[in-house]
Structures are given as C-alpha cells and as structure tokens.
Amino acid sequence: MPSLRLLAPALFAFAMFGAAVPASADSFSGAQRTDIEAIIKNYLVSHPEVLEEAMAELSKRQAAAETQKHEASIAQNADAIFNSPRQVVLGNKDGDVTFVEFFDYNCGYCKRAMDDMLTLMKSDPKLKIVLKEFPVLSQGSVEAAQVAVAVRMQDPSGKKYLDFHQRLLGGRGAADKARAIQAAKEAGLDTARIEKDMASPEVRATIEENFKLAEAMGMNGTPSYVIGKQIVIGAVGVEGLREKIGIARCGKATC
C-alpha cells in the first residue's frame, strides 16, 4: 500500500476540492469521509512542507500554461504585431530582436519606461523597436494617440516622431489634443496637416488595430511589451527588459 506521502497530492485535492481519492468518493460512508478528512488534516499539519511543494508545482504548471498561451497568441498575430504598416519603427529596422511597446501618453509608468526604451535603443544596435499607441486611461489619452498617429503619417522615418514622443510623454501635466499638438509643433511638424490627418480613417484604423492586438494577448494596461515570443506586462525596468531580449536572442538572459 502506498505511503501517505505518495498519496498526499490526491489527499490534498480531496480535502480542498472534494476530489476523489483512488476509490470513488461516493462509495464512502459519512463516517469514512470523516475519518479520511481527519487523516488528511493530521498529515498536512504534521507535514506542512507538502503544501509548499503542491503550491510550487501548481505555480510552475500555471506559468507554463501562461507561457504557452502567450506564444500561441503571438504566433497567431505575428504579422500585425511585428510588421504592421501602422506602427512606428525605431532603432535597427533589420534588428535580430523586435521589442514592441504598447503605451498610453497619460501613463506614469510609461514615462519611466520611455527612459528604459531609450537606454536599450542606444546600447543595443541590433534591437528593432516598435511603438504602438494604446490609449486606455482617458479621453485625453485618445486625443494624444490620434495626434501621434497623424505625426507618424507625416514622418515615416520616425525621427520627428521620437522627438514628439519624448516631449509629450516626458512633459508635465495630463496629455490631450492641445498638449500633443504643441509637442508636435515643437518637434517641427506641420500642425495644420496633423489636424487634417486626425480625421482620416488611418488614425481610427491604427488605434483599433492596437486595441485588437492587446485584447488578443490579454493586455489591459500600460506599458505592455511583446519581446520575441514573450509578453511582458508592466514597467519591469531596463534590466528586466534586457533579460527578455536576451532570452529572445539566444535563449538565456545574458548572451
């Protein structure tokens, strides 16, 4: 007969969820169920490390399932994520790793994440950077994103867009249309053309595409990233991002 330690996972499941142990739970009388529950309780009190082992295994399996889910969603949407004509591309356009950031101009964490992105762009000449407007926080965020898309339409090279991006995201106060237009003007863009382009179907289509991608990958906040086959939620810091880039590039955090 197997030891209690070998039966611990099944006993734990029975205690927590009423799951069947190696005999049908329906075949036990009320007294037998009471005895089994007492045995389980006493065992777990005497061997609490079993709970730690069970929870560690559960976390491991959940993480593996989440990774598999992320990889599948990225594979299904790869072209739109990495190669959409409706995105801003910075850094090395032929880079070996693509770093995709979804951001909101009113996101405080995105302001700090912008510095991380700039640091990575300067220090990693093989990195392709893609920026996608994802205005989830306010109407002002939507207005700023609309201006940003119009800026991208006017500046395919991304050079003036980056200047605009830093001015608006790095500035003080809430971002909205007025502040975004001012940032575009300071970056040397044609604001009359921006006003005109904001009404174009391209602006709406760009933002809708980004929302659909974010939904498909389970993103509901900013900043969020796609790096290789990995989805990263939140401002994890420049070193955390470097690790993800390393994994995408060579399979480990440091290549």
pLDDT in tens, 113-132: 999 999 999 999 999 999 99
Q: Is 172 in the same domain as 237?
A: yes
pLDDT for 62 equals: 74
Q: Is 106 in the same domain as 11?
A: no
Q: Is 119 in the same domain as 19?
A: no
pLDDT for 30 equals: 80
**Is 50 exceeded by the pLDDT of residue 2?**
no
Q: Is 120 in the same domain as 185?
A: yes
Alpha carbon distances (Å) from 72 to 11, 41, 143? 34, 40, 32
pLDDT for 35 equals: 81
- The rounded distance, in Å, linking the Cα atoms of 148 and 86 is 11
- Return the higher-pLDDT residue of 16 and 133: 133
Q: Is 241 in the same domain as 134?
A: yes
pTM: 0.76
Residues composing the chain: 255
Q: Is 146 in the same domain as 204?
A: yes
What is the number of domains present in the chain? 2
Q: Which two tokens stand for residue 147?
A: 């201006």
Confidence of residue 110 (pLDDT cuts 50, 70, 90): very high
Domain annotation covers residue 255: no
pLDDT for 6 equals: 46
Q: Is 63 in the same domain as 137?
A: no
Q: Is 98 in the same domain as 219?
A: yes
Which of 240, 217, 114, 246 lies closest to 175 in space, CA to CA? 114
**How many helices (H) and strands (E) would you count in the chain?**
11, 5
Which of 208, 204, 205, 244 lies closest to 224 in space, CA to CA? 244
Residue 184 exposed, middle or buried by CB count within 10 Å (0-12, 13-18, 19+): buried
pLDDT for 193 equals: 97
pLDDT for 79 equals: 95
pLDDT for 56 equals: 80
- The rounded distance, in Å, linking the Cα atoms of 119 and 51 is 43
Least-confidence region, from 35-49, 150-164, 191-205, 230-244:
35-49
**Is 80 exceeded by the pLDDT of residue 224?**
yes
Q: Which two tokens stand for residue 154?
A: 């006017």
Domain annotation covers residue 150: yes
Confirm if 153 and 197 have CB atoms less than 8 A apart.
yes
Confidence of residue 40 (pLDDT cuts 50, 70, 90): confident
Enclosing domain of residue 51: 4-76
Q: Is 176 in the same domain as 222?
A: yes
- The rounded distance, in Å, linking the Cα atoms of 142 and 175 is 9
Sign, CA torsion 234/239/240/246:
positive
